[in-house]
Structure 1
Amino acid sequence: MQERGLWPWLGPGLVALFGGILRFFRLGEPHTVVFDETYYAKDAYALLLHGAERTFLGDAKNPVADQRLITGNLDIFKQCAQQTDCASYVAHPPLGKWMIAVGEWMWGMNPFGWRFMAAVAGTLSILVLARLARRMTRSTLLGCFAGLLLALDGLHLVLSRTALLDIFLMFWVLVGFACLVVDRDQVRQRLLAEAGARLGPRPWRLAAGAALGAACAVKWSGIWFLLGFAVLSLVWDVGARRAAGVRRAWRDTLRRGLQSAPAALAAVPAATYLLSWTGWFTTAAGYGRNWEQATSAGPGFFLFDSARSWLKYQLDVLRFHTGLQESHSWQSWPWDWPVLRRPVLFHIKSDLPPSACGADKCTQAVHGAGTPALWFAALVALVALIAWYVASRDWRAGAVLLAYALGWAPWLYYAIADKRTMYLFYMVPLVPFMVLALTLVAGLVLGRQDAAPLRRAGGGAAVGAFALIVLINLWWLYPVLTSETVTNAEWWSRMLLRSWS
């Protein structure tokens, strides 16, 4: 795809700047530990100090420790270093916490510091999506439209302003998918130039493998995207060979394409995942590390015993996840998520003085809810994409539908088979693909560039009106997404359903 002028980069960059302003403005508010930040902010700082997660004051989720954290008393971390056994059992791999730790290293152990990298990941994801949508649609306008919609989604906004892991999972999944799309384009160009040619190095597929491995190193649910996108990449290779006139495209793909696929989509992700555990391997601080036993003999025994201990740890985490059924007041089921039936209340403070808002009762809240106008329209767009794919076999529609299924369908199984505890924010990796669905449909509404001027004008008005509706919807919800002080009446008016409160 040929780049022309500044707008292919300047347009997405300006949209990302707008999204970044929304995410960084008042990032340190609320000035308290929000929801599961009580785990991840502390785990991240422990990684900086010890190379592995540690337990502080005897309990990771400790109100006393939270209060000391906010007041800048970091003795809770020093106390742990003096204890004989402070290794902390954690249920998620370390990469997301290492990313949080970068912000704490740069800005200190405070709410702005531990949320900084979440805001960076959220802002960069807007730029990546805008560029990806431009590549998929060959339209800078539609690319900017996609970036704008992601910038205006409430759930993406909240998680970009909170030190939880899911925004990092979303970021790496999106980057992995974008790299595979670039790889697809390059493969087709090479094969069309010379049918049956050897493709040689495929750096973008290697980059995709690293990104998807990073997704798994943030949360294990990244494995579904890795497996699904690996198959998708091979299917795209077959399609490229068919388009180039290669006979027996499947056989040719398996004979030539599988030479590099295992390295890019298996070995590289595995190495990336393993690399994220470096701190655990190189220190004695990690849970189940058995450092003294591992170092009791030579290097060979050290490697063997360390690998055995690490594998046992992974199996322990697997058993934890498959048996997680603890009830939570803000949990919800996958069939609730597309219609936003039960968002997650990350934070609420309702004991503010009347002077805070000029009314009898004032409230500050952070609701983890998507922008309803965007989410409900995305449902319609996904149904439209099903019909489009059945009718035309358009690769873009198929890829977006597959990505949505990879992020949503596994949770259906866990909900039905295991009754596992889960939350709406598990949907955030799917938000970019919901936006892509809307963008592809917006392209149909706009029509081809050579369409009649009246047709283009009508389509442009419809797409612009929709973007304006989403913008107004986010503006209306913004105070209860970002902990602004509002009256109780204003807070209630923004609760779409009773299940939101």
Structure 2
Amino acid sequence: MGSNGVGADARDATPDALDAPESPDSPDVLEPAVDDRSRGSRLDERWAHLLRTPRRRALWYWGGPVAVALLAAVLRFWNLGTPQELVFDETYYVKDAWTLIANGYESSWPEGANEDFNRGDTEVYSDDPAYVVHPPLGKWMLGLGMATFGADNAFWWRAVTALAGVVAVFAMTMVGRILFRSTLLAVIAGFLFAIDGNAIVMSRVALLDNWLMLFGLLGFWFVLLDRSRTSSRFAARLAAQQEAGGDSRSGPVVWARPWVVAAGVALGAAIAVKWSGLYFLAAVGVYLVLVDALARRRAGLPFYVEGAVVKQGPITFLLLVPTAAVTYLASWTGWLVTSGGYYRGWADEPGNAASGFWSWVPHPLQSLWHYHQAAYGYHVGVRTEHPWEANPLTWPLMLRPTNMYYADAAGCGADQCVASIIGIANPLIWWAATLATLYLVYRFARYHEWQAGAVLLGVAAGYLPWLLYVERTVFHFYTIAYQPYVILALVYVLDLVLGRPDDLRWRRQQGIATVAVYLTVVTAVSVFFYPLWAAIPVSPEFRQLHFWLPGWG
């Protein structure tokens, strides 16, 4: 077994072993086996000496995650206002966000509005509604920076999205600490996410998908927090029930689950950015029921399935799903309280309003339902040729990353310079994470480790539904929604490579050296690719060196 609860020996992979997150006073992954100098490594000994006081351990406990978040901030905010023009689908979302701030609903723009907007003339929109097919929350978030600082500077189009990317890196470390019970592995997870190209690009362009990723990751974090907190509450309720002589064959119900409510808010927000957030909500709902059933089985309850599905299941549903629904509906407040939005008056037109049982539903909600029906029809049927579309079957291999921007530039020191923004993930992170995810499938099937199951849940929710739409026009950058989980799969495997602090010295030192070399190399690769992620002018020859596969250029 690895030093943090995920490792080679399945007998140690008990579901309850890692419920409590590591505290600042807990020893970290590099604590040495001090009673046997033939085990562990000198680095373990030095690390334990360095963290020998509670204050130092607390500094590492919080300082490590903050440090990788600050690194993420530098990589995402540096030169963020370049290029000073709408990039790729910013042409839709930035302008939609600005009219949401102004009118409360997405409004139309005249021909040539992009050029005006790029120059800082941002008031050329009309009051006529625009037909859009994504919910408004992501665009409301994009509008925050512009509402505060103005829309005439590209930095503020993108600033809030970059901030979301930084918060996601910090949240990644928090999730990693719960999964692996190690600040070191949590920091490695955050570091890999901070320096990855897909994550950097999606934080530096004002699209919606970074927000979908962030809210989904927050929901995942909250569910893990619920898992660790609810187990103790359940045990206490069960003991009280048994002591009182009640029927404890299926176990008690636990209502006090604030983290499930928090997860409902986060996942409702994810759906309010893009409807694909629904898959994360469904996956989390199933996960909560399964975890509850397993907890009841471990407690020796004969009717553990009935207890989880029939007793606790409805309560969990009430805590999770209506919360998500209210959050989602709240994102449409601007459309509901104004009268100019697309389809806003549909139910007021003769013959459109519902009759019979549904006639009591207010007309604005009937109009909103009609809008959703129309948008769903668009989503399932959209098929337009695009030079950078990527079949979901190719996403794990990254055969067609999205080229979002390309233009002649100056300042690279060569006779000809170009600048581009290409959503190429760090290849050594992405491909290694893909292999690690496949290994986790085997790992979970053989050892039933809860950490592997939780990580695979996130991957499945973000990736598998897209296999139903292989004929639809989709792009590789959609992978940002589940990228945190494939990176967690990679860190899971890195933990196995590291080994345990009490492994034989040669084994431990070999593991540490291997991981250190890997992290050094992927850092160098990120430095090499960063100009293509941040629109830094380079020569065409240097740019060509980055196209490792034919579909990249």
Q: State how 1:11-50 maps to structure 2 within 5 Å.
A: 11-50=64-103
Confirm whether residue 394 of structure 1 aligns to residue 449 of structure 2. yes
Judged with a 3 Å threshold, the aligned counterparts in structure 2 of structure 1 residues 304 and 194 are, in CA distance, closer, same or farther, namely: closer
CA deviation vs aligned residue, 1:87-129 (integer Å, no higher than 9, x gap): 1100100000000011111221021111011101100000001
CA deviation vs aligned residue, 1:34-63 (integer Å, no higher than 9, x gap): 000011001001111011100011xxxx4x
In the TM superposition, residue 410 of structure 1 has moved relative to its aligned partner by 1.5
TM-score normalised per structure 2: 0.84
**Cross-structure match for 1:156:** 199
Query: Does the aligned pair in 2 maintain the 1:371–1:474 contact within 8 Å?
Result: yes
In the TM superposition, residue 380 of structure 1 has moved relative to its aligned partner by 1.5
In the TM superposition, residue 454 of structure 1 has moved relative to its aligned partner by 3.4
Rounded Cα–Cα distance in structure 2 between residues aligned with 1:460 and 1:339: 28
Does 1 or 2 have the higher relative contact order (CA < 8 Å, sep 6+)?
Answer: 2
Q: State how 1:41-60 maps to structure 2 within 5 Å.
A: 41-57=94-110
Rounded Cα–Cα distance in structure 1 between residues aligned with 2:319 and 2:255: 13
Rounded Cα–Cα distance in structure 1 between residues aligned with 2:503 and 2:120: 62
Rounded Cα–Cα distance in structure 2 between residues aligned with 1:318 and 1:293: 22
Equivalent of residue 371 in structure 1, options 426, 432, 445: 426
In the TM superposition, residue 469 of structure 1 has moved relative to its aligned partner by 1.7
**Cross-structure match for 2:35:** none
Deviates further, 154-163 or 187-196 = 187-196
Rounded Cα–Cα distance in structure 2 between residues aligned with 1:455 and 1:107: 55
Rounded Cα–Cα distance in structure 2 between residues aligned with 1:103 and 1:150: 24
**Cross-structure match for 2:375:** 317
Confirm whether residue 252 of structure 1 aligns to residue 307 of structure 2. yes
Deviates further, 199-208 or 34-43 = 199-208
Judged with a 3 Å threshold, the aligned counterparts in structure 2 of structure 1 residues 492 and 321 are, in CA distance, closer, same or farther, namely: same
Confirm whether residue 270 of structure 1 aligns to residue 322 of structure 2. no
**Cross-structure match for 2:122:** 74
**Cross-structure match for 2:516:** 464
Judged with a 3 Å threshold, the aligned counterparts in structure 2 of structure 1 residues 241 and 448 are, in CA distance, closer, same or farther, namely: farther
Confirm whether residue 97 of structure 1 aligns to residue 136 of structure 2. no
Rounded Cα–Cα distance in structure 2 between residues aligned with 1:484 and 1:127: 26
**Cross-structure match for 1:422:** 474
Query: Does the aligned pair in 2 maintain the 1:53–1:285 contact within 8 Å?
Result: no
Is the radius of gyration larger for structure 1 or structure 2?
2
Query: Does the aligned pair in 2 maintain the 1:169–1:218 contact within 8 Å?
Result: yes
Rounded Cα–Cα distance in structure 2 between residues aligned with 1:420 and 1:292: 31
* Partner AA of 2:94 in structure 1: A
Query: Does the aligned pair in 1 maintain the 2:423–2:533 contact within 8 Å?
Result: yes
Structure 1 gaps, min length 5:
none
- Give the SS at the match of 2:272: helix
Deviates further, 124-133 or 453-462 = 453-462
Rounded Cα–Cα distance in structure 1 between residues aligned with 2:391 and 2:319: 34
In the TM superposition, residue 456 of structure 1 has moved relative to its aligned partner by 2.5
Equivalent of residue 190 in structure 2, options 132, 147, 159: 147
- Give the SS at the match of 2:404: strand
In the TM superposition, residue 207 of structure 1 has moved relative to its aligned partner by 0.6
In the TM superposition, residue 335 of structure 1 has moved relative to its aligned partner by 1.6
Query: Does the aligned pair in 2 maintain the 1:192–1:243 contact within 8 Å?
Result: no
Q: How many residue pairs were aligned? A: 480
* Partner AA of 2:139 in structure 1: K
Equivalent of residue 161 in structure 2, options 97, 118, 122: 118
* Partner AA of 1:305 in structure 2: H
Rounded Cα–Cα distance in structure 2 between residues aligned with 1:483 and 1:208: 36
Judged with a 3 Å threshold, the aligned counterparts in structure 2 of structure 1 residues 33 and 462 are, in CA distance, closer, same or farther, namely: same
* Partner AA of 1:311 in structure 2: W
In the TM superposition, residue 492 of structure 1 has moved relative to its aligned partner by 0.7
**Cross-structure match for 1:308:** 366
Query: Does the aligned pair in 2 maintain the 1:128–1:178 contact within 8 Å?
Result: yes
Rounded Cα–Cα distance in structure 2 between residues aligned with 1:72 and 1:292: 38
CA deviation vs aligned residue, 1:366-423 (integer Å, no higher than 9, x gap): 00111100011012111211121111101111122222122212211111xxx11000
Query: Does the aligned pair in 2 maintain the 1:284–1:291 contact within 8 Å?
Result: no
* Partner AA of 1:117 in structure 2: V
- Give the SS at the match of 1:373: helix
* Partner AA of 1:49 in structure 2: A
- Give the SS at the match of 1:485: coil
- Give the SS at the match of 1:218: coil
Structure 2 gaps, min length 5:
1-19, 25-57, 239-250
Rounded Cα–Cα distance in structure 1 between residues aligned with 2:458 and 2:201: 22
- Give the SS at the match of 1:365: strand
- Give the SS at the match of 2:547: coil
**Cross-structure match for 1:405:** 460
* Partner AA of 1:22 in structure 2: L
CA deviation vs aligned residue, 1:53-80 (integer Å, no higher than 9, x gap): 00011xxxx4x21111121112313xx1
Equivalent of residue 224 in structure 2, options 166, 181, 188: 181
Query: Does the aligned pair in 1 maintain the 2:253–2:312 contact within 8 Å?
Result: no
Rounded Cα–Cα distance in structure 2 between residues aligned with 1:132 and 1:336: 28
Judged with a 3 Å threshold, the aligned counterparts in structure 2 of structure 1 residues 292 and 412 are, in CA distance, closer, same or farther, namely: closer
In the TM superposition, residue 194 of structure 1 has moved relative to its aligned partner by 5.0
Rounded Cα–Cα distance in structure 1 between residues aligned with 2:449 and 2:121: 57
Deviates further, 178-187 or 251-260 = 251-260
Query: Does the aligned pair in 1 maintain the 2:440–2:452 contact within 8 Å?
Result: yes
Q: State how 1:429-448 maps to structure 2 within 5 Å.
A: 429-448=481-500
Confirm whether residue 337 of structure 1 aligns to residue 395 of structure 2. yes
* Partner AA of 1:222 in structure 2: G
Rounded Cα–Cα distance in structure 2 between residues aligned with 1:41 and 1:410: 27
Judged with a 3 Å threshold, the aligned counterparts in structure 2 of structure 1 residues 146 and 48 are, in CA distance, closer, same or farther, namely: same
In the TM superposition, residue 198 of structure 1 has moved relative to its aligned partner by 4.3
Rounded Cα–Cα distance in structure 2 between residues aligned with 1:291 and 1:325: 27
- Give the SS at the match of 2:390: coil
**Cross-structure match for 2:287:** 232
Equivalent of residue 202 in structure 1, options 248, 257, 278: 257
* Partner AA of 1:495 in structure 2: F
Query: Does the aligned pair in 2 maintain the 1:187–1:237 contact within 8 Å?
Result: no
Rounded Cα–Cα distance in structure 2 between residues aligned with 1:194 and 1:291: 51
Query: Does the aligned pair in 2 maintain the 1:136–1:396 contact within 8 Å?
Result: yes
TM-score normalised per structure 1: 0.92
Query: Does the aligned pair in 1 maintain the 2:208–2:273 contact within 8 Å?
Result: yes
Equivalent of residue 134 in structure 1, options 177, 182, 202: 177
The two structures, once aligned, show a CA RMSD in angstroms of 1.9
Q: State how 1:475-486 maps to structure 2 within 5 Å.
A: 475-486=527-538
**Cross-structure match for 1:108:** 150
In the TM superposition, residue 455 of structure 1 has moved relative to its aligned partner by 2.7
| The structure with more helix, counted as a fraction of residues | 1
